[in-house]
Each structure stands twice: as structure tokens, then as C-alpha cells.
Amino acid sequence: EPEVTQTPSHQVTQMGQEVILRCVPISNHLYFYWYRQILGQKVEFLVSFYNNEISEKSEIFDDQFSVERPDGSNFTLKIRSTKLEDSAMYFCASSVDSNQPQHFGDGTRLSIL
Amino acid sequence: GIQVEQSPPDLILQEGANSTLRCNFSDSVNNLQWFHQNPWGQLINLFYIPSGTKQNGRLSATTVATERYSLLYISSSQTTDSGVYFCALEGGSEKLVFGKGTKLTVNP
């Protein structure tokens, strides 16, 4: 069964550094998402992306965050200047259409020191 | 926005027992999914169930959209069922709104 893949599985970064999290969505899917989960808390929506542009974003997704689909397969989340509170598990998801099931990757655990 | 409430927050079972997890929501939904988050943090998709009933092995789920709740049934629980179970909904937008989860511990 096709799956969403995320790299790296764990990223450790110094505060203030830029970090790029990478995702390869399922190939025929058109909608892409990023979510995050701070340790011990619920999963929170960050951003959705469709037709090469952001379709929705949360208040968490401020100017430090950006997303890109640089080619036909990758979908990236960039955090420009990381803060301690950015430490979390970041999940990428994709769906064939809106209102269809979202399929999640295994996540990238981001640790900011 | 849409509100999601899951109950109970914690559940401890002996292996072999059955359980029912509940998800209440505040508005009509276009998408409802149940996930199992295992001890490694992976989110495993269990059911896509905006309405009706589905079964997959020892697990089944029912959503009564008109009454705004969904139930996840786990029968003959095993230690590998331990983890956190999340209900997540999509209302009028594309994003999934997650509940706080039910933490299930199955003891041998």
C-alpha cells in the first residue's frame, strides 16, 4: 500500500538555526498538510497546500514557517529561525481530495537545543 | 471552530477485555477518522468513518452523524493495542481537528 514518507525521522538543531523537514506524499494525492504534536499534547493543524499554494493555515503558522513543493514529489516545511518551543513531532499528510481520508507519515521528531 | 471531545481520557484494561471509546463533536462533519498512536509516535489510520459502521478484525467503529458522536470498539484487547487513540474531524475546512485522545493501557 502506498504511504507518505518523511525524512529525517529525528532532527536535532540549535536554536536560531533553519531547519527543513521533507515529505514525499502519496503520488496521486492532490492535497498536502503539515501538523505538529508537542510532547504529550494533541495533534494540531499547521497548513494545507493545494494546487501549488497554501489553501489554509493556522495561527501557529507564522512568518517563521514556509512550505514548498519544489518538484513533482517532495513537499517541505521550513522553519527559518527555530525556537525552543518548536520542539515537537511534525507530521506530513496527504489526501486524494478534500473530505477524503488523510494519510499520515511516521513523523519527524524535531528537538531544538 | 468545531469542538472534539474524547472520553475517557485514560483507560486501563486486562488483556482479553472489551472497550468502547467515545468521540463527541459540536458540528456536522465531512470527514471523521480514528487513529492509533503507537509508543513510537506513529499515527496509524484505523477508520475513515464520517457515517455508518465499519469493522476491521477486532476493531469496529460507528458514527451517528445526526447525533454528533462516534464510537470505537476494541474487542479481546491485546497488549499491542496500548497507545493513544485519537478521533479527528474535518468540518467546513480542509484541516483535521484532533481530540485530546484516549490513552489505553492493556496489561498482560
Per the structure, how many domains does chain B have? Answer: 1
Taking CB atoms and an 8 Å limit, are B95 and A101 in contact across chains? no
Write out pLDDT tens, residues B32-84.
Answer: 999 999 988 999 999 999 999 999 999 999 999 999 999 999 999 999 999 99
The minimum CA-CA distance between A25 and chain B, rounded to whole Å, is 15
B9 has pLDDT over 80:
yes
Provide the CATH number for the domain around residue B79.
Answer: 2.60.40.10
The pLDDT of residue B51: 95
Tell me what the pLDDT averaged over chain A comes to: 94
Taking CB atoms and an 8 Å limit, are B48 and A33 in contact across chains? no
Separation between Cα atoms, residue A25 and residue A75, nearest integer Å? 7
Beta strands in B26-66 (DSSP E): 31-37, 43-48, 52-56, 59-64
Per the structure, how many domains does chain A have? Answer: 1
Provide the CATH number for the domain around residue A31.
Answer: 2.60.40.10
Tell me what the pLDDT averaged over chain B comes to: 95
* Contacts of residue A67, Cβ cutoff 8 Å, sequence gap at least 6: A32, A34, A47, A49, A54, A75, A76, A77, A78
Q: What are phi and psi of A38, to 5 degrees?
A: -70, 145
Range of the domain at A78: 5-112
The pLDDT of residue B94: 80
Q: Which of B51, B96, B103 would you mutate first to test chain A, the one with the most A CBs within 10 A?
A: B96
Range of the domain at B57: 4-107
